[in-house]
């Protein structure tokens, strides 16, 4: 049995997020610029390499694997990878295989995902208004995503909605989104917009809607009870007593959540980022490709975990963007 991965702050690493592509069929305004340059395909880990990489982490104690991107479901043949990962669910080593998606391809893949052992999916959706959806995603179409969500629920997947809280954009939809999710038995989590990557002419501070304010608005209409549960991740949860639904808050800006962080991220080119909000990273593709044995890779993983920083430095408190990181969220995988 391999010794588990423990970082310098005694946090056990149990959760891996893997970006399988930097490409996407949307161009969300807070995530990408309209004219993104994507990586040449040869830079990407092949599906076989992704398998080796994830399997190494599973051997080292990772119990939860989230596939993300870019849009993971636009990567060619990605179902082969999901099916292959399901062997770790069957063995019991992996407790959860899941993904974050914009939902555009879910109608096509929901049944296959369920068959591969996926039971929950996070769908990113910031608005239920068709025109606003087209505006915020630039290239997306809301009905396609709604069909995807229907298909996912029909396939038996538990759906969680992730909505980025955007000032002057979806503030007026707080209650619409909340009741829509309640009526469909969908969990809902709000995310504060983070300063990641050049997004063209968009204004970061202008986009920022603090979840403290959002929560206060919820409390005007509902009885909001804090829930003690934590997934080891950044989300904190409340229950709305009137509807019984659970609402999550991911608040990198207004509350620093790093003390319980149990996760690391791999980019589609095989870099490991041990903190979403820092530039520091290490290359794992070199060690992976340098040897057919996984010993070199495992050593490189341990060395990278030994460098996991204490936390991020995002800060808007001085009304300017501090702690910005240069890469886009689609590079590291949200
Ligand atoms: N394409 C998939 C999707 O949209 O769900 C997966 C990748 S996307 C980068 C993952 C998550 O990151 C999405 O929920 C998206 O809203 C969020 N995201 C992207 N850029 C962000 C930013 N600057 N601040 C906060 N969340 C962001
Ligand atoms: Fe694509 Fe997801 Fe980024 Fe939107 S948030 S551009 S869907 S990767």
Q: Is residue 4 one of the residues assigned to a domain?
A: no
More confident residue, 256 or 210: 210
What is the mean predicted confidence (pLDDT) over 3-16? 90
Ligand 1 center to residue 122 CA distance, Å? 11
Domain coverage including residue 265: 15-332
Q: What does the pLDDT look like over 254-305, one tens digit per residue?
A: 555 677 788 899 999 999 998 877 777 999 999 999 999 999 999 999 999 9
Q: Is 102 in the pocket of ligand 2 (CB under 6 A)?
A: yes
Give nearest CA residue, ligand 1 atom 17.
Answer: 334
The pTM of this model reads 0.91
Beta strands in 166-222 (DSSP E): 187-192
Residue 8 placed within a domain: no
Instruction: State the pLDDT at residue 228.
Output: 86
Q: Which ligand is nearest to the CA of 199?
A: 1
pLDDT tens-place string over residues 21-67: 999 999 999 899 889 899 998 899 999 999 999 999 999 999 999 99
CA distances from 5 to 12, 127, 251, 268, 305 (A): 6, 39, 26, 21, 7
Residue at 142 is within a domain: yes
Q: Classify residue 2: in a domain, yes or no.
A: no
pLDDT in tens, 146-175: 999 999 999 999 999 999 999 999 999 999
Q: Give 18's Cβ-side CA count (13 Å radius).
A: 32
- Ligand 1 surroundings by CB, under 6 angstroms: 24, 30-31, 68-69, 71, 100-102, 124, 162, 164, 191, 193-194, 196, 329-330, 334
| Helix, strand, or coil (residue 115) | helix
Total of domains in the chain:
1
Q: Is residue 316 scored above 60 in pLDDT?
A: no
pLDDT for res 261: 82
State which ligand 1 atom lies nearest to the alpha carbon of 71: 1
- Report if residue 1 sits inside a domain: no
89-141 per-position pLDDT tens digit: 999 999 999 999 999 999 999 999 999 999 999 999 999 999 999 999 999 99
- Cβ-based neighbour number of residue 293 at 10 Å: 8
Tokens of 152: 């996912």
pLDDT of residue 275: 83
Mutate to test the pocket of ligand 2, among 19, 22, 24, 34 (most ligand atoms within 8 A of CB): 24
Residue 177 lies in a domain: yes
pLDDT > 80? residue 196: no
Residue identified by tokens 């002419």 is 201
CATH assignment at residue 246:
3.20.20.70
Q: Is the pLDDT of residue 209 over 90?
A: no
Considering the domain boundaries, does residue 5 fall inside one? no
Question: Does 76 map to a domain?
Answer: yes
Question: What's residue 83's pLDDT?
Answer: 98
Distance of alpha carbon 223 from alpha carbon 228, whole angstroms: 16
């Amino acid at each position: 049995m391999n010794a588990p991965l423990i970082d310098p702050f005694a946090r056990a690493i149990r959760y891996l997020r893997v970006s399988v592509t930097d490409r996407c069929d949307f161009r969300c305004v807070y995530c990408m610029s309209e004219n993104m340059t994507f990586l040449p395909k040869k830079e990407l880990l092949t599906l076989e390499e992704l398998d080796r990489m994830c399997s190494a982490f599973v051997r080292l104690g990772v119990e939860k694997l989230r596939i993300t991107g870019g849009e993971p479901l636009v990567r060619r043949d990605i179902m082969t990878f999901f099916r292959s990962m399901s062997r770790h669910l069957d063995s019991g080593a992996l407790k959860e295989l899941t993904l974050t998606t914009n939902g555009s391809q879910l109608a096509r893949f929901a049944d296959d995902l369920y068959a591969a052992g996926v039971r929950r999916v996070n769908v990113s959706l910031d608005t239920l208004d068709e025109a606003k959806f087209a505006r915020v995603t630039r290239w997306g179409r809301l009905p396609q995503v709604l069909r995807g969500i229907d298909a996912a629920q029909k396939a038996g997947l538990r759906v969680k909605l992730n909505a980025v809280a955007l000032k002057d954009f979806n503030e007026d939809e707080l209650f619409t989104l909340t009741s829509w999710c309640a009526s469909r038995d969908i969990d809902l989590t709000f995310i504060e917009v983070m300063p990641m990557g050049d997004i063209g002419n968009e204004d970061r501070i202008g986009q920022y809607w603090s979840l403290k304010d959002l929560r206060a608005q919820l409390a005007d209409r509902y009885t909001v009870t804090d829930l003690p549960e934590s997934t080891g991740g950044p989300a904190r949860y409340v229950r709305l007593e009137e509807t019984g639904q659970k609402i999550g808050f991911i608040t990198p800006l207004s509350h620093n959540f790093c003390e319980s962080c149990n996760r690391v991220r791999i980019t589609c080119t095989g870099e490991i980022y041990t903190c979403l909000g820092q530039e520091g990273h290490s290359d794992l593709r070199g060690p992976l490709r340098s040897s057919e044995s996984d010993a070199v890779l495992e050593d490189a993983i341990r060395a990278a975990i030994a460098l996991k920083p204490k936390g991020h430095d995002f800060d808007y408190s001085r009304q300017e963007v501090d702690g910005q990181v240069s890469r886009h969220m689609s590079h590291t995988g949200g």
